[in-house]
Structure 1
């Protein structure tokens, strides 16, 4: 079992807060259009920080835990790319001006970290108290994998999102962005701006992604510290990664399929772990190193296959995938 001192937690949290502060300054207090060069530099920086943390962590606690960290980080990083797809859909749906996109992304990252921290605490407590939660998490991931594969060529219906619809009922919404404000005055009445709806949509999507990503990384490791570190370092580079790859996302036509396979694989891993612990020790488990190799292999195949597909068919466009059919398609059926 991993033993992490209070000092390690303080140092880790302090580093994450410092990096968040940098993101906050860049995205919220100094809104500007992010160029390719700037996005590349920040992406490389955040990946380098995540790798450096993993190496130091492995040297201190052993490479078994280090492998768990890197496997979890890769899982969360790959799932975060799907986050980017949905962020692009939200930005497009609400026509967010480029100078405010950093602000939206920074808010989304902070909110995602808070939600994941809550789910990690709850998930770790449930796994410690009830071993059958491994089965519950496994089945949840298998269901998610099936739904994502079924709707891999669709986009989530942002405006039909329950959270967004609820916000519209509570607040009248203006049609114009007002210098990045969340609320403004329209004919003397206080109304929400479209930017407020964008942040609400980001929050709702973050909640859904947390429900999927936390069970996924618990399928790699049951150590709460590693789960938190994986999520934190994967999300911290999301703002820069968005501006770096948003023009390339359309080419990853098989990403949703690959993520569905990865989630299904981890779901099977969790179910086998439950069977091994609660039913019979003779039931085999999937080693963490094998998980790392399989996940990297799936991502490599998906990336290469996507690039080959789009080279031969330039009209092919990737979709982020959805857990349910769009409303209008359901009505047609």
Structure 2
């Protein structure tokens, strides 16, 4: 696997991730009864984005000195493109989390606990998926075309699919878990497992955690192949992906009160997936520079968000 990642770059990245996690878990994880306010969520979201952009600037500076201006510009733009794609797709995932928390009646103070474990699980799972994907692509390059077809299918399904999302009450996995596990009828504080009369029970909070982790895996199946369309360098793919999800907890509390303002987001995401999928499948016919890909993705997101502000949903 060809990569710009050197032992020093990997060490710096690991140190930043560990530090960010420590801050998020030890400081932001103690917000009291009402969780994180919108103002706090906005401040911390800006901090996480700033750290990610600072890392990208440092990566550009380092590569310019070691590999030259052209490679530095190409890789830093690839990082920014992957970061933007992952952030955009993550927003749709946050709305799924909101639906799950509403279904299980999880208050904000307990949502915080589920999101902490959810982000940790996402980091581990995505790291494994990215390294596995990088190795497979290095051995079987034709997999990129398969990823492209998959993204085209997913984008078309998202664009032409029904506006009505599946309700959590109709989810088959939730029903299966409720049938095959002993589940308490109510939440038990912050506990995932409790004992009653000598028997072990899982709580609705545990079911919420399982569904949050599963939803992230499902969304990763879209976002990771999309970033591989930008670059196959595992260092760039992993760093852009993890930096994008590290601030998801703050981003969730920021967006939780504004879900109705993004009614057209899924169409923008669908167009992005279609564009990236076509880019992957036609790579031997049309070469689209990474910088142009970044511009297209940014333009689609800006247009979608602007349209969401002006065009209200029918049931608004």
Spell out the pairing of 1:103-252 with structure 2 (5 A cutoff).
103-151=113-161, 153-161=163-171, 163-252=173-262
TM-score scaled by length of structure 1: 0.87
Q: Report the Cα distance in structure 2 between the residues aligned to 1:243 and 1:233, rounded to whole angstroms.
A: 18
Larger displacement relative to structure 2 (232-241 or 156-165): 156-165
Aligned to 1:6: 7
Aligned alpha-carbon RMSD (Å): 1.8
Aligned to 1:57: 59
Q: How far 1:269 sits from its partner (Å)?
A: 0.7
Decide whether aligned partners of structure 1 residues 144 and 225 sit closer, same or farther in structure 2, where only a CA change above 3 A counts: same
Decide whether aligned partners of structure 1 residues 290 and 159 sit closer, same or farther in structure 2, where only a CA change above 3 A counts: same
Decide whether aligned partners of structure 1 residues 64 and 5 sit closer, same or farther in structure 2, where only a CA change above 3 A counts: same
Secondary structure of 1:46 counterpart: helix
Kept in 2: contact 1:184–1:193 (CA 8 A): yes
Q: How far 1:285 sits from its partner (Å)?
A: 1.4
1:248-307 alpha-carbon deviations (Å, 9 max, x no partner): 12111110000000001000011012xx1xxxxxx2211111111111110011001000
Kept in 2: contact 1:163–1:204 (CA 8 A): no
2:292 counterpart (290, 293, 297) = 290
Q: How far 1:185 sits from its partner (Å)?
A: 3.0
1:86-145 alpha-carbon deviations (Å, 9 max, x no partner): 111111111101211111111111111111111101111111111110111001101111
Spell out the pairing of 1:25-36 with structure 2 (5 A cutoff).
25-26=26-27, 28=29, 32=33, 33-36=35-38
List, as ranges, runs of 4+ consecutive aligned residues in structure 1 with deviation greater than 6 Å.
none
Kept in 1: contact 2:154–2:270 (CA 8 A): yes
Aligned to 2:269: 259
| Structure 2 residues without counterparts, runs of 5 or longer | 64-71
Secondary structure of 1:191 counterpart: strand
Q: How far 1:188 sits from its partner (Å)?
A: 4.6
Secondary structure of 2:195 counterpart: strand
Q: Report the Cα distance in structure 2 between the residues aligned to 1:106 and 1:87, rounded to whole angstroms.
A: 13
Kept in 2: contact 1:163–1:200 (CA 8 A): no
TM-score scaled by length of structure 2: 0.91
Aligned to 1:76: 86
Q: How far 1:36 sits from its partner (Å)?
A: 1.8
Aligned to 1:299: 301
Secondary structure of 2:201 counterpart: strand
Kept in 2: contact 1:108–1:203 (CA 8 A): yes
Decide whether aligned partners of structure 1 residues 208 and 181 sit closer, same or farther in structure 2, where only a CA change above 3 A counts: same
Kept in 1: contact 2:265–2:304 (CA 8 A): yes
